[in-house]
Amino acid sequence: IEFFVDVISDYQSDFVVFPEFFNAPLMSAYNHLGPADAMREIANFTIPLRDKFMEFAVSYNINIITGSMPYLDHGVLYNVGFLCRRDGSYEMYRKIHITPAEKSGWGMVGGDSIVTYDTDCGRIGILICYDVEFPELPRLLAEQGMQILFVPFMTDTQNGYTRVRSCAQARAIENECYVAIAGSVGNLPKVHNMDIQYAQSAVFTPSDFSFPSNGIKAEATPNAEMTLIADVDVDLLKELHNFGAVRNLKDRRLDIYKILNKSKK
């Protein structure tokens, strides 16, 4: 973990984002317990890992989106991550939409909070993997002023990856924001239910004249481990909101439809 934080911080980066369940290899030590119990066992590492991320955020002067890890709250298992700011503060976020495999294999439960987070580089949103496939969530975050959406993900096949990627790129256009996705690659032959992984991390932009014509700021080599570094200009989003060729946020017909945020804060 520290290696990647160190490398990214060397480029004076403001954020680094890790994948969903980046610590899944730890489950190999608990395979004899079965997938559900193994996931609960590695939940014991989540708070110590959070504390280490907080230490790195301060010492390397970088805001860290920790990907996601299993977390036990009064016996209930959640898929959570942390925003560790470089000022020493942190926020917890929970995956809201749990996949069928997470429910049946690990007994996970979804969170119920849809919020943005203020940082020293703008307001951000964080959604874990499957969450980005539901357009209502990013739209609610956009209404709260989100400028950058971070999406840690884990997909085992190219089919699953395509869903996440395609939806993430659509969210950048719909909500006039940047979207950064980060996933794990490689095989975990000793971890039940996580044998293979496929990913291609990327940074997406709106599609207008001030941005790349294909809406892709940067993308990693497909299914290869690497760090991806990209610069984005949040001031361009303000121009887009007011003077874009199309204005997806302003031109909504709120007189005939709207989305309500009923989440618990």
Catalytic residue set: 20, 95, 129
Strand partners, 108: 77
Spatial CB neighbours of 87, under 8 Å, sequence gap ≥ 6: 58, 120
- Cα 172 to Cα 67: distance, rounded to the nearest angstrom: 20
Read off φ and ψ for residue 73, nearest 5 degrees.
-125, 105
3-class state of residue 118 by DSSP: strand
Tokens for 89, please give them: 């503060």
Distance (Å, whole) CA 48 – CA 252: 44
Helix axes 136-143, 158-175, angle to 10 degrees: 30
Q: What are the structure tokens assigned to 142, written together?
A: 């956009």
Nearest to 182 by CA among 155, 206, 159: 155
